[in-house]
Homo-oligomer: A and B are copies of this chain.
Amino acid sequence: MNYPGGIKKDNNSNPVLKQINHRNRGMSLEADLNITNEYYRDIDKAYIYKKPTPIKVTKVDYPSRDKTVIKEAFYTIPSTTDYNGIYKGKYIDFEAKETKSKTSFSLNNIHNHQIEHLKNIERHGGIAFLIVRFTTLNNTYLLFIKDLVSFIDNETRKSIPLEYFEKNAYLIKDNYKPRVDYLKIIDDLIGGI
């Protein structure tokens, strides 16, 4: 192929790919996970979905027979985590969070009952974890619930320092397809089947 203006085929200097990389960095973790889960479904690898946001509806209107318009509603606290599904026969359950901090992840980002939920899932044979992205550093980690619980049980701090992630969590490498290949980490855990 001929590249105009003598631009090399090297990915790092390709302006189009640079633009894509730049756009990726700006995408939210939620958007990345939605694309990733869609990809997993497309290739029939795993069926993992984001649950709808829980909303309490207080007023509705019926402008026509088959149409309902919600006129007043409120966001409510989720009773579980945002994502769950199945992979290789295993029940998968996780919560995903972003932080702008470069040094730590505050536990205020997760509800206590969500941590309890993830503990229940693990105790019953499921695979439970957090996905945490440090957006400023553009690093995304998978932290298994046992390692989250270990931190909470042994530390008094209300935020998990980055070093704890570096030591105890798994870095999910940036990827093109799928965007956030977190099942690769699960494969390493449960072994290839």
One of A10-18, A64-72, A132-140, A161-169 contacting the partner = A64-72
- Please give me the residue from chain B that is nearest to A79 by CB atom: B49
Name the prevailing secondary structure of the A interface residues: strand
**How many whole Å from A123's CB to the nearest CB in chain B?**
8
One of A86-94, A147-155, A182-190 contacting the partner = A86-94
Given contacts A70-B70, A70-B72, contact A126 B89 (CB under 8 A): yes
**How many whole Å from A47's CB to the nearest CB in chain B?**
5
Q: Which of B52, B57, B85, B124 has a CB less than 8 Å from the CB of A87?
A: B124
Q: How far is the CA of A93 from the CA of B48 in the complex (A)?
A: 12
Report which A residues bind B (CB closer than 8 A): 41, 44, 46-47, 49, 51-55, 57, 68-75, 78-80, 84-91, 93, 117, 120-121, 124-126
A to B CB contacts below 8 Å, 27 in the list: A46-B124, A47-B117, A49-B79, A52-B54, A52-B55, A52-B78, A53-B55, A55-B73, A57-B73, A68-B74, A68-B75, A70-B74, A70-B75, A71-B71, A84-B84, A84-B85, A86-B91, A86-B93, A86-B121, A86-B125, A87-B124, A88-B125, A89-B125, A89-B126, A90-B91, A90-B125, A91-B91
